[in-house]
């Protein structure tokens, strides 16, 4: 069996994943591609990750798609949900998650290169984007499963207001201002936020 290390690809539960972190006998993994498109929440209202429809879907319907053997390898973890540090919108209570989305801090500081200097020291007029010329943008780019083009994908962190959620733009830049939480209602044909689930896996 090939050695698993940070950056390795692996197959689990019918999806292809990328290893973001290793700790003892467990790995943090994220799907290699955007696996589907869904809105962050089902109604246009102030919401946090703890109560949003996308979290409920990932930890119920999506989780139930895994076999019992695979479920036994998924580690439930406590996630911190920080306020949006540029705009002060509420991150909400910490959550116990089997499957989750990454946060602004995780994609900016830990798992796709270190851009913390830009995150914690925004420019005077910087409100919407981390930085279009951030050297780590290319590491965050993801393709929509089965398609040739890249797409944007949700983070669990709040956007500028709590009717928005942060996201990764198609060019890999971090949209700290967020997109409308209902952006992605397939029934009305509007563009839809991509989903890249993450989880901690027993090796």
Give per-residue pLDDT as tens, 150-201: 999 999 999 999 999 999 999 999 999 999 998 755 555 555 899 999 999 9
Model pLDDT, residue 147:
81
Select the more confidently predicted residue: 13 or 121: 13
CA distance 175 to 128: 6
pTM of the entire structure? Answer: 0.93
Q: Where are the beta strands (DSSP E) in the chain?
A: 9-12, 15-23, 26-31, 36-37, 74-75, 77-79, 95-97, 142-143, 150-151, 153-158, 164-168, 174-180, 194-195, 198-202
Residue 45 and residue 38: Cα distance in Å, rounded?
16
- Spell out a b/e string for 124-158, using b for 16 or more CB atoms within 10 Å of the CB, else e: eeeeebbbeebebbeebbbebbeeeebbbbbbbbb
- What is the rounded distance in angstroms from the CA atom of residue 69 to the CA atom of residue 100? 19
First CA to last CA across the chain, in angstroms? 12
Please state, in angstroms and rounded to a whole number, the distance separating the CA atoms of residues 157 and 175.
Answer: 11
Mean pLDDT confidence for 17-39: 96
The per-residue pLDDT for 191 is 58
Position 54 scores a pLDDT of 97
Average pLDDT across the chain, whole number: 91
pLDDT tens column, 79-112: 999 999 999 999 999 999 999 999 999 999 999 9
Closest Cα to residue 39, out of 58, 23, 22?
Answer: 58
Instruction: Decide if pLDDT at 134 tops 90.
Output: no
């Amino acid at each position: 069996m090939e050695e698993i290390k940070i950056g390795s690809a692996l197959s689990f539960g019918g999806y292809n994943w990328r290893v973001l972190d290793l700790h003892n006998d467990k790995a943090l993994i994220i799907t290699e591609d955007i696996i589907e498109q869904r809105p962050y929440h089902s109604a246009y209202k102030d919401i946090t990750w703890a109560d949003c429809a996308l979290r409920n879907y990932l930890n119920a319907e999506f989780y139930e798609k895994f076999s019992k053997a695979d479920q036994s390898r998924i580690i439930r973890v406590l996630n911190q949900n920080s306020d949006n540090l540029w705009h002060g919108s509420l991150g909400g209570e910490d959550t116990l998650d089997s499957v989750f989305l990454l946060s602004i801090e995780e994609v900016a500081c830990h798992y796709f290169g270190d851009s913390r200097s830009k995150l914690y020291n925004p420019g005077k007029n910087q409100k919407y984007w981390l930085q279009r010329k951030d050297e780590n943008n290319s590491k965050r780019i993801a393709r929509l499963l089965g398609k040739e083009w890249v797409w944007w994908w949700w983070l669990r962190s709040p956007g500028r207001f709590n009717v928005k959620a942060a996201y990764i733009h198609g060019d890999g830049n971090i949209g700290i201002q967020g997109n409308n939480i209902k952006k992605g209602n397939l029934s009305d044909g509007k563009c839809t936020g991509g989903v890249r689930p993450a989880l901690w896996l027993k090796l």
